[in-house]
Amino acid sequence: MRPIWKGSISFGLVYIPISVYPATREEKVSFRQLRRSDLSPIKYKKVAEADMKEVSADQIVKGFEYERGRYVVLNDEDFEKVKIESTHSIDITDFVDLEQVDPKFFYKPYFLESQKGGEKAYALLHKALSGTDKIGIAKVVISNREYLAAVKPDGLFLILELMHFASEVLTPEELNRPTTQLNDKELKMAQALIDSMSVEWEPQKYRSEYRNAVMEMIEQKAKKVELPEKPVSKPRATNVVDLVKVLQESLNRSQSVKPKRASGRNGGRSTASLVKQKRRAAA
């Protein structure tokens, strides 16, 4: 696995050389549009809205619609004037309690790997953050774009987690607030159901059933094998009359089907071993 960015972490007078590696990947199935008669891929032409005529690349400019139907045109020179220079440094400006940060602010994590000469400072920052339950809030420029980010301990590594700016996080002001009154019996039953369904967190057991089904279908169609149609399940009833009765039935079902916890699962593997495994697979 190749680093997507190399630079350093800096706070105060501390300088830690690091490399940044992806910590997640998006698994989605991509499709091409084809002409039915010969399966020729469809290409898209750029046309002007005014007369639907095709426009060549040298005649296309970037514009911002500041009023409906009125645009400001920007060229490369304009963007150069506001280009943010990359310092190749994750500049931590503040340390805050992790519990104070709304989870909605976080959206994409990366592994941080210490480079030669930075091992001790890296380990020191990792241990210090782990012992205080704080995270470093930083600014970083990647590919000419400025990000808000957090430096957090994760297992044996530090991670850089990109964050939304406050102006990007929406508030649910337009949603209807729940005003229904609950009684103690309903609450206790709901808590008992939650307790009966509580297990250790094992992320490996949660898989995309839709993606797996699509890939199975593609494989079978490539082999010219027709898959049998699955029966359509009936929609669940939504008019719950007796909530306590439904909770009790759910609790009984949960207790009867709850599997025994398996020993020797892979949930306890360290972050370091997972990273090494991913690098070997990518090599």
Most confident of 81-90, 99-108, 265-274: 99-108
Average pLDDT over residues 253-282: 54
Q: Which structural domain, as residue segments, surrounds residue 187?
A: 180-197+243-255
Total of domains in the chain? 2
* Residue 13: how many other CB atoms lie within 10 Å: 5
pLDDT band at 234 (very low <50, low <70, confident <90, very high): low
The reported pLDDT for the residue numbered 263 is: 43
Supply the pLDDT for residue 98: 95
Question: Could you tell me if residue 184 is inside a domain?
Answer: yes
Give which of 59, 95, 23 is closest to 271, Cα–Cα.
23
Helix (H, G, I), strand (E, B) or coil at 161: strand
Pair 247, 162 in one domain: no
pLDDT of the residue at 110? 96
Amino acid identity of residue 182, one-letter, is L
* In-domain check, residue 69: no
Whether 143 and 251 map to the same domain: the answer is: no
Task: Assess if residue 52 is contained within a domain.
Answer: no
SS3 string, 92-154, reads EEEEEEHHHCCHHHEEEEEEEEECCCCHHHHHHHHHHHHHHCEEEEEEEEECCEEEEEEEEEE
- pTM of the predicted protein model: 0.68
Contact 20, 160 (CB under 8 A): yes
Residue 283: inside a domain: no
**Domain-embedded: residue 236:** no
Residue 123 sits in the same domain as residue 191: no
- Interatomic CA distance for residues 112 and 2, integer angstroms: 12
* Residue 282 included in any domain: no
Structure confidence at residue 266 (pLDDT): 47
Task: Establish if 220 belongs to a structural domain.
Answer: no
Query: How large is the average pLDDT for residues 190-218?
Result: 83
If asked whether residues 15 and 104 sit together in one domain, one would say yes
In a domain, 65, yes or no: no
Q: Quote the pLDDT of residue 283.
A: 45
The residues with which 65 forms a beta bridge, in sequence order, are 71
Side chain identity at residue 131, one-letter code:
G
